[in-house]
């Protein structure tokens, strides 16, 4: 029942009682009975735990940023090397042991006894930027070698996923002073089962020779290895050994299942190549984009010394830009501002790094005839990438020379590219920045209770000046563990606060994005959104929570007010959006119940004609579980995941029930083309409840 009909019933009742013989008694009685009737008709907190008032009137809306929610990628937890980047060979160029010989070649190992085969690295490679190659000396011949020969094998990143019927492209460089007969095979982890095999037979490979072979798997094994074997006595050199599945996303090198997991979040942006990874523990091991350019064989790779593992840089600057384009997400490039975790570049010497940043922007955006734009074109992408955001450094504001370095970067970038949005490392949420910027970076790693309370972090932030980029947030420590429901609910509350403050927060992303489950705990960071191994993956509860916000980018925020006595455990928001899947318009209400009690909630809409709601195609989705510390796993990947059902049409006096420790979304199909049409033609004020 609408408020107007309530008011009408009450006024008619008063007229009737005022006409009675005892006017005074009738008046008192009428007021009491009428007030009781009014309470029954009006949504209040007297008959429910909570009341959510959503104002759908056009004047109470706010346009949300097109890229409000996105993802933050960092080369951590083997997210790229051994993860999203589908290369199966680890240490493919034998450079991981360092630029000295002899050097360690892990995870490569020999097949056969040391008396039969010996390997060592040397500087004989034909590639100037990565000079190390592997020298293999075979001491036995066909009569003395064991059956199948001797050689080396590579297990990849904790085992290669080889699937029956799929084809894998093997590329390697080989040299020998003698004729060769090398068997290349994909086998199980012990070499006992052969999944695919081929032979390299050549009489003259005295110069480095590139060999390409397509290997079709005849069986499936998730813990496979690549073997290179021979039974001919002599010396063979190997270098740049690569094995890639042919079925990567669009042939761009991204592992399909992991790409899909990210794409399903519908990210508005992707921040790369990371935070600490961009800095490096030492400057020599920072992420320098030019070292990741060109053919993969010529990329030197580098030690990811912050997270303690080698990366061949197959996933380079070009690939990150391609990834953003494939995701239809805006790229956000974080470049080094002259600082590693242990070193700093003085402002008087910062000019080469400033020029390096300008060159990187030209590579992404420049004309294909420009110096660096031509390199992009040569790599197969003549059209510019849509790079509109750059971040100068990562968490460097506390460094003594950051401001001086920052101003030199900012001035040069703005002179060459005045439209680019520059992101500062300094927090501007409480005090005004003392330097120019379009956005400022803000990171948040806290316990669950603090995270939920941070929903109000930006309520009092000045509406004038740079906007916030919440590039890294996560519930951590004991509350986060490997990623549980408690963390997801606390983060959901925080994101609802982001939505309500989307006029001062321009973008937000959870971090880290990926975790290879085999990553040793001392090398990685937990929790993460997506967990995987060689062949399988699952989303943590925080991953599924983020999907509740996947339609918020570019949506319309509706003014909503929550009336409850449990303000420390309830958060809510409401948006209007068009679903690209069916081109229909929806009104979505999200509510997180962070408490341990059931909550009876009434949701009341002002300015919405109830007749426009099509309940037959409206739905509710709930993320919850029996225990707030429940986690997902490979054995039970959807233990904590959204459950969707139809939303039954409710009477005006019936609300919804929120389960304890739950995140709920109510999607109402609205039969109108735009928000201006959801009000009635005669502009009458409507109130409807579900």
Tokens of 269: 């942006």
d(CA 203, CA 601): 80
What percentage of the chain reaches a pLDDT higher than 70?
Answer: 90
Higher pLDDT among residues 25 and 341, named by residue: 341
| pLDDT at res. 60 | 81
Strand partners, 210: 173
Which two structure tokens, joined as six digits, stand for 26?
Answer: 């009738």
What pLDDT, in 10s, does the model give residues 280-322?
999 999 999 999 999 999 999 999 999 999 999 999 999 999 9
pLDDT category of residue 450 using cuts at 50, 70 and 90: very high
Confidence of residue 674 (pLDDT cuts 50, 70, 90): low
Residue 531 burial (10 A CB sphere; 0-12, 13-18, 19+): buried
**Residue 592, pLDDT score:** 98
pTM: predicted TM-score of the whole model, two decimal places: 0.91
Strands 421-424 and 687-689: unpaired
Residues 378-421 have pLDDT tens digits of 999 999 999 999 999 999 999 999 999 999 999 999 999 999 99
Q: In terms of DSSP bridges, do strands 467-475 and 505-510 run parallel, antiparallel, or are they unpaired? A: parallel
Which is nearest to 86 in space by CA: 306, 238, 312, 293? 312
Name, in order, each residue with C-beta under 8 angstroms of 124's C-beta and a sequence gap of 6 or more: 131, 133, 135, 175, 237
Region of residue 583 (left: phi > 0; alpha: psi -120 to 50; beta: else):
left
For the chain, the C-alpha Rg in angstroms (whole number) is 31
pLDDT in tens, 18-74: 444 455 454 444 444 444 444 444 444 444 589 999 998 878 899 999 999 999 999
Instruction: Please name which of 111, 185, 169 lies closest in space to residue 145, comparing C-alpha atoms.
Output: 111
For the residues 652-668, what does the mean pLDDT come to?
86
Which pLDDT score, from 0 to 100, does residue 480 have? 83
What separation in angstroms does the CA of 136 have from each of 67, 126, 149? 52, 17, 13
Distance CA 648, CA 219 (A): 49
Question: What stretches of 338-401 show up as alpha helix (H) in DSSP?
Answer: 351-365, 371-378
Nearest to 244, CA basis, from 212, 218, 275, 222: 212
For residue 688, pLDDT beyond 60: no
The predicted pLDDT at position 397 comes to 97
pLDDT greater than 90 at residue 676: no
What's the rounded Cα separation, in Å, for the pair 134 and 182?
15
Q: What is the pLDDT of residue 31?
A: 44
Residue-averaged pLDDT of the chain: 91
Q: Alpha-carbon distance 95 to 79, whole Å?
A: 20
Structure tokens belonging to residue 277: 């990874």
Cβ atoms within 10 Å, residue 434: 8
Q: What is the pLDDT of residue 682?
A: 33
CA separation, residue 520 to residues 94, 173, 309, 515, 516 (Å)? 22, 32, 11, 10, 9
**Segment 87-113, tens digit of pLDDT:** 999 999 999 999 888 999 999 999 999
pLDDT band at 478 (very low <50, low <70, confident <90, very high): confident
Query: CA 256, CA 170: separation in Å to the nearest integer?
Result: 19
Tokens of 626: 């029996």
Instruction: Identify the CA nearest to 520 among candidates 77, 155, 83.
Output: 77
The rounded percent of the chain whose pLDDT value lies above 90 is 83
């Amino acid at each position: 029942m609408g408020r107007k009909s309530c008011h009408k019933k009450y006024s008619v009742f008063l007229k009737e009682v005022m006409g009675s013989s005892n006017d005074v008694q009738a008046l008192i009685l009428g007021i009491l009975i009428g007030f009781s009737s009014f309470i029954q008709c009006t949504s209040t907190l007297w008959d429910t735990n909570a009341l959510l008032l959503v104002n759908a009137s056009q004047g109470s809306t706010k346009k949300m940023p097109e890229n409000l929610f996105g993802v933050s990628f960092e080369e951590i937890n083997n997210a790229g090397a051994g993860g999203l980047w589908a290369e199966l060979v680890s240490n493919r160029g034998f450079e991981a042991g360092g630029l000295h010989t002899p050097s360690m070649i892990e995870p490569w190992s020999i097949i056969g006894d040391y008396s039969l085969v010996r390997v060592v690295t040397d500087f004989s490679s034909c590639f100037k930027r990565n000079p190390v190659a592997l020298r293999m000396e075979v001491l036995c011949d066909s009569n003395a070698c064991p059956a199948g020969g001797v050689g080396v094998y590579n297990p990849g990143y904790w085992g290669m996923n080889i699937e029956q019927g799929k084809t894998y492209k093997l590329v390697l460089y080989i040299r020998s002073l003698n004729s060769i007969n090398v068997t290349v095979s994909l086998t199980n982890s012990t070499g006992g089962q052969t999944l695919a095999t081929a032979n390299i037979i050549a009489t003259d490979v005295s110069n480095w020779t590139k060999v390409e072979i397509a290997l079709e798997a005849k069986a499936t094994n998730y813990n496979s290895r690549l073997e290179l074997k021979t039974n001919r006595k002599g010396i063979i050199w190997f270098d740049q050994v690569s094995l890639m599945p042919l079925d990567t996303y669009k042939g761009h090198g991204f592992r399909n299942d992991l790409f899909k997991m990210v794409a399903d979040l519908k990210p508005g942006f992707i921040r790369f190549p990371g935070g600490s990874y961009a800095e490096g523990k030492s400057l020599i091991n920072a992420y320098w984009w030019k070292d990741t350019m060109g053919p993969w064989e010529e990329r030197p790779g580098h030690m990811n010394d912050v997270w303690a593992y080698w990366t061949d840089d197959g996933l380079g600057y070009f690939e990150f830009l391609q990834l953003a384009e494939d995701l239809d997400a805006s790229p956000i490039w974080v470049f080094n501002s002259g600082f590693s975790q242990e070193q700093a570049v003085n402002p008087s010497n910062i000019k080469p790094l400033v020029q390096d940043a300008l060159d990187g922007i030209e590579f992404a955006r420049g004309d294909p005839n420009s110096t660096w734009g031509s390199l992009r074109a040569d790599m197969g992408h003549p059209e510019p990438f849509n790079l509109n955001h750059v971040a100068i450094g990562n968490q460097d504001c506390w460094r003594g020379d950051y401001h001086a370095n920052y101003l030199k970067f900012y001035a040069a970038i703005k002179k060459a590219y005045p439209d680019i949005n520059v992101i500062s490392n300094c927090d501007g949420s409480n005090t005004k920045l003392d330097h120019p910027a379009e956005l400022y970076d803000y990171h948040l790693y806290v316990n669950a209770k603090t995270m939920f309370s941070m929903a109000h972090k930006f309520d009092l932030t000045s509406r004038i000046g740079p906007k916030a980029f919440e590039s890294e947030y996560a519930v951590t420590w004991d509350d986060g563990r490997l990623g549980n429901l408690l963390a997801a609910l606390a983060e959901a509350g925080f994101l609802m606060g982001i939505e309500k403050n989307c006029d001062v927060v321009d973008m937000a992303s959870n971090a880290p994005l990926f975790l290879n489950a085999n990553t040793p705990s001392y090398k990685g960071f937990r929790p993460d959104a997506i967990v995987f191994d060689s062949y399988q993956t699952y989303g943590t509860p925080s991953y599924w929570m983020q999907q509740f916000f996947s339609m918020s980018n570019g949506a319309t925020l509706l003014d909503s007010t929550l009336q409850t006595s449990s303000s420390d455990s309830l958060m809510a928001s409401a948006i209007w959006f068009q679903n690209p899947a069916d081109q229909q318009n929806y009104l979505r209400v999200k509510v997180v119940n962070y408490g341990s009690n059931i909550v009876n909630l009434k949701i009341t809409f002002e300015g919405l004609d109830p007749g426009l709601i099509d309940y037959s195609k409206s739905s509710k989705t709930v993320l919850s579980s029996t225990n707030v510390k429940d986690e997902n796993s490979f054995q039970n990947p959807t233990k904590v995941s959204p459950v969707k059902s139809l939303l039954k049409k409710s009477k005006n006096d019936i609300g919804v029930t929120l389960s304890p420790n739950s995140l709920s979304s109510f999607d109402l199909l609205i039969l109108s083309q735009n928000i201006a049409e959801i009000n009635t033609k005669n502009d009458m004020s409507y109130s409807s409840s579900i």
